[in-house]
Copies of this chain bind each other. A is one copy, B any other.
Amino acid sequence: MEDKVYIPINKQLPSLYDPVEYILGLPSKKFRPSLCHLTATILKEVNADTETLGRALEVFHNFTLMHDDVMDNAPLRRGQATVHKKWSVSQAILSGDVMLIKAYEQLGNIKDATKSQIALKWFNKIAIEVCEGQQLDMDFEQKTAVNETEYLEMIRLKTAVLIGLSMVFGAISVGVEKNALTEIYKIGEQIGLLFQLQDDYLDVYGSPENFGKQVGGDIIEGKKTFAYLKAVQLSKTPELLQKVYLDKSIKNTDKIKAVRDLFDKTSLKEHLEADMQKHYDFIVKNIKNSILKGKATPLLSLLEKMYLRVH
């Protein structure tokens, strides 16, 4: 052993970092960094910290995808092989871990220590909630009865809180006062909830054009979505609906058709549309009463674009 004790060797570690580059390289809307950017623009001017925090959001989001795909045993992600299928479960675990840390690394790169710490505290809170949401989602898989409130809490945690954080990060990046952040967060969280409700709706009533992914995927999997839970609640034959929806032996196209027929008997479409409309109006009202008012046009345009997905 040398006196020096340690000599660094080549630290290129493709086995660790290839999966990271792979998942970050898959086509993605980059919705979270965009929303961070948009919020910063509305409030002031974007700066280097906006980009930094946007990167943290995207890397974190992809970390959750990589680990969730292992837990859900999903073969595909954005139409490509998932990391645990292309490499291994161990690889998906460890490369995911390093991505979570890399997200935090971005927070450390914020020059102003106070700003960095505000971002850190928000990030910790939300990241924990995202894990809790994934846990609830897995717990629901094992349960036969899940009610609407429980479902909303699950998607709030699993999906919406990170959308809320995306807006908060935009605001933090331009130095918005700490006390104003919760108001901004709540708007983002509501947008996240609406987005997920729309996804659940489009899985039943969408077209490949406005949905961007395979219509009926949730039905095939028998996933307990908001649409399904609502339909069970409205249905006069809930047992039959449950039986068909959770049956994995029926041919995909037959199952989608059978489930849709049962859904249609409940006027589910109208109920979901009324829910989304109510939710949409609520968000617009909140934006117009918030710190964002007066400058909110780009955010309202985004909402309108979301609205058009389902109309």
Contacts and interface: CB of A to CB of B under 8 A. Distances in A.
Contacts of A131: 16, 94, 97-98, 101
A107 B90 contact: no
Nearest to A152: B6
Contacts of A156: 6
Contacts of A127: 101, 104
B128 A117 contact: no
A8 B153 contact: yes
A126 to B, nearest CB: 9
Contacts of A300: none
A70 B97 contact: no
Contacts of A8: 153
Contacts of A71: 90, 93-94
Contacts of A67: 93-94, 97
Interface string A262-300: 000000000000010011001000000000000000000
A1 B275 contact: yes
A163 to B, nearest CB: 13
A136 B15 CA distance: 9
A93 to B, nearest CB: 6
A5 B282 contact: yes
Interface stretch (A35-43, A44-52, A108-116): A108-116
A135 interface: yes
Contact of A100 (B97, B102, B152): B97
A68 to B, nearest CB: 9
Contact of A132 (B5, B13, B70, B117): B13
Contacts of A29: none
A7 interface: yes
Nearest to A72: B90
Report how many copies the assembly holds. Answer: 2
Looking at chain A's contact residues, is the secondary structure mostly helix, strand, loop, or mixed? Answer: helix
B6 A153 contact: yes
A308 interface: no
A190 interface: yes
A215 B259 CA distance: 61
Residue picked from A1, A101, A105, A117, most chain B C-beta under 10 Å: A1
B108 A113 contact: no
A210 interface: no
B279 A132 contact: no
Nearest to A63: B97
Contacts of A108: 117, 120-121, 124
A181 interface: no
Contacts of A107: 120
14 contacts: A3-B282, A6-B189, A6-B193, A13-B132, A13-B136, A13-B139, A16-B135, A67-B93, A98-B128, A101-B131, A105-B128, A108-B120, A108-B124, A113-B114
